[in-house]
A = this chain, B = another copy of it.
Amino acid sequence: MDFIHQLCSAWDKNNSLLCVGLDPDFERLPTSIQGSDAPYFSFNKEIIDATADLVCAYKPNSAFYEARGATGIQELQLTCAYIQENYPFIPIILDFKRGDIGNTNQQYARFAFDYIGADAVTIQPWCGAESVQAFLDYKDKGIIVLVRTSNPGAKEFQDLEVNGEKLYISVAKNIRDDWNKNGNCLLVVGATYPNEMRKIRRLMGDGMIFLVPGLGVQGGDLKEVLKAGLNSSGSGLIINSSREVIFASKTNFAEAARAKAEELKNAINERRGSL
C-alpha cells in the first residue's frame, strides 16, 4: 500500500489526525530508562504501545538519534521496525529535512526507505525539483516538502516577494504544478502560521495533505490550525505533537503520554465536527 492510502486508512481506523513525534532527548528521559541498554528504543516502545490506537502516524526526527551517533541510528531503525511489526497500519514519517544534489539524494533515500523503513520523508526545497527527483521517484512513499516552517525566523526568506507573491506560495505552486506528478507530495506548513496555512489550503485545494508541526511548546493554536488547514471534508492534515506528548510526565510517562495524546485527538475531533 502506498503512503497516502496507508495514512488515509490510519486516519479512519483510529479516527485521528494526530501524529506523535518520537523525538527523545536523553536528559528528559525517566531515570529508569536512561539506565537501559537502548534508552531511546526502550522509551519509544512504551510511548508507541501506549498511543498506537490514537494516532495516524509516528514521526521520528532523525536529529535526536544522530546526536547519539551510530547507536542512536540503530535505535531509530529498531524503533521503526517495532512499529512495522506491531502496528503495521501506522505509517512512519522520517523527519530528516534532507536536500542535496541528485546522486546524493539517492543515498539519503536509501537510508530512509531501505535502512530505516520509513513510509515518508521530509525534504528541503532549496535545490529545486530536479535535485529531489531521486525522492519523488519513490512513488509509494510520501515526500513532504518544507513550504512554511513553524519557527519564528521562517519569514526571513519564505516571505520574500517574488512576482507579486510570497516565496512560500511560489514553492507551494511549483510543487502542485510540477513536483507532484506521482501524486506523492505533501507539504510542511507550521501551526504557528495559520494565515499562511489558509492561503496554502486555498491554493492547493482539498487533495493536498499538510504535515503540521508547531503546536504546544512552539505556540501554535489548535483551533486556528483546524480553521485554516482542514479541507472541505474535515481532513487533509497530519497534526504533529512531539514534546507535549512524549514528555507529558517523568513518572508513569507512557500513561501520561497516552492521556495527552487522547486529549489532543479528542480536541481535534471535536473541532473538526463543529467547524
A111's partner among B69, B116, B126, B127 (CB-CB below 8 A) is B69
Which interface class (under 10, 10 to 19, 20 to 34, 35 or more) fits A? Answer: 35 or more
A102's partner among B70, B116, B151 (CB-CB below 8 A) is B151
Residues of A62-87 at the interface with B, using a CB-CB cut-off of 8 Å, are: 63-64, 66-71, 73-74, 77
Residues of A139-154 at the interface with B, using a CB-CB cut-off of 8 Å, are: 146, 149-154
Residue of B nearest to A243 (CB): B103
Of A160-168, A198-206, A246-254, A259-267, which binds chain B? A160-168
A167's partner among B66, B152, B157 (CB-CB below 8 A) is B157
Q: Which among A67, A149, A167 has the highest number of chain B CB atoms within 10 Å?
A: A67
Bound-state Cα–Cα, A116 to B174, Å: 36
Rounded to whole Å, the gap between the CB of A118 and the closest CB of chain B is: 12
Number of copies: 2
Please tell me if the beta carbons of A69 and B151 are within 8 angstroms of each other in the complex: no
Residues of A150-192 at the interface with B, using a CB-CB cut-off of 8 Å, are: 150-158, 160-163, 167, 170-171, 174
With A73-B69, A73-B70, A163-B160 already in contact, the answer to whether A151 and B130 are too (CB < 8 A) is yes
Which residues of B have CB within 8 Å of A99?
97, 99, 124
Which residues of B have CB within 8 Å of A162?
160-162, 167
With A64-B107, A162-B160 already in contact, the answer to whether A153 and B167 are too (CB < 8 A) is no
Taking beta carbons and an 8 Å cutoff, which residues of A are in contact with B? 23, 25, 61, 63-64, 66-71, 73-74, 77, 97-102, 104-105, 107-108, 110-111, 114-116, 124-131, 146, 149-158, 160-163, 167, 170-171, 174, 213, 218
